[in-house]
Amino acid sequence: MTRKAPRRTAERILGTTLALFNRFGEPNVSTTMLSAELNISPGNLYYHFPSKDELVNTLFDQYQVAADELLSASGDVRDVEDAWFFLHSLFELIWQYRFLYRDVGHLLSRNRRLETHFPAILLRKRTALLEMLETLRPSSAATAEESPRDAIAASMVVVLTYWLSYEYVLQPRTALEPENAQDALLRGAYHVMSLLAPHLDEDARTHLQGLMHAYHPVTH
């Protein structure tokens, strides 16, 4: 049996950093803590990533690439089932890099790269959600009413951005633990889709309500 090649040190550092940032929050994870968890010397850590900001920026870049790829699929949304899957996928990606959202205020206040690049992701989300709303809107909807759809898309982005913070405030000791991920994601997707429901035609709304009932998450 061929032995699997060991992961490169930089990849292992990033994987461990992401896990610790997600569990404890970026402000609470020091490079000393990272070195100890990885069982490497601080010098080895600094060789690969000279500062904690370098770790944050590299993880953010990974998230940005994944987000751009996912958001580009918004044009493939054709019905409410596609929309449910698309929104749940957005929440799954946010969960994977949840430290960015859990500590967003802190990170934006001290990291210039995130300050200048994170807003672009939110705007990209709003554009993608607008595209989805345009596809799903009733054929009888007035074409001139752009503002309501923009407001709906903005509200969806707000829920996507701050849902995990809301979960954390309600249950700060357990909300962001991996075993609670599925319920947290379902609750978030449920509430985002609830924003969409009133703006669908009757058949699509009935279908959506059936999906929401089938996947109804445990509520707080």
> Cβ contacts of residue 98 below 8 Å, gap of 6+?
22, 164, 176
CB 132, CB 83: distance < 8 Å: yes
Structure tokens at 195: 């924003």
Amino acid at 38: L
* pLDDT per residue as tens digits for the range 62-99: 999 999 999 999 989 999 899 989 998 999 999 999 99
Is the pLDDT score of 5 beyond 50? Answer: no
* pLDDT per residue as tens digits for the range 12-21: 999 999 999 9
Is the pLDDT score of 3 beyond 50? Answer: no
Is the pLDDT score of 7 beyond 70? Answer: no
* pLDDT per residue as tens digits for the range 167-182: 988 988 888 888 888 8
The four Cα atoms 177, 179, 181, 182 give a dihedral, to 10 degrees, of -170
> Cβ contacts of residue 186 below 8 Å, gap of 6+?
88, 215, 216, 217
More confident residue, 40 or 176: 40
Q: Is the sign of the CA dihedral 101, 215, 183, 17 positive or negative? A: negative
Q: Residue 84 to residues 23, 61, 210, 214, 217: CA-CA distances in angstroms?
A: 27, 26, 12, 12, 14
- How many residues comprise the chain? 220
* pLDDT per residue as tens digits for the range 104-161: 889 999 999 999 999 999 999 999 999 998 888 765 554 445 558 889 999 999 999 9
DSSP 137: S
Question: Tell me, what's the pLDDT at 219?
Answer: 60
- How far separated are the first and last CA of the chain, in Å rounded? 49
Residue 49: count other Cβ atoms within 10 Å of its Cβ: 19
CB 212, CB 190: distance < 8 Å: yes
CB 53, CB 27: distance < 8 Å: no
Q: Residue 56 to residues 13, 62, 94, 164, 186: CA-CA distances in angstroms?
A: 12, 10, 15, 19, 27
Question: Tell me, what's the pLDDT at 214?
Answer: 73
The four Cα atoms 8, 10, 15, 18 give a dihedral, to 10 degrees, of 180
Q: Whose CA is closest to 102, among 50, 175, 32?
A: 175
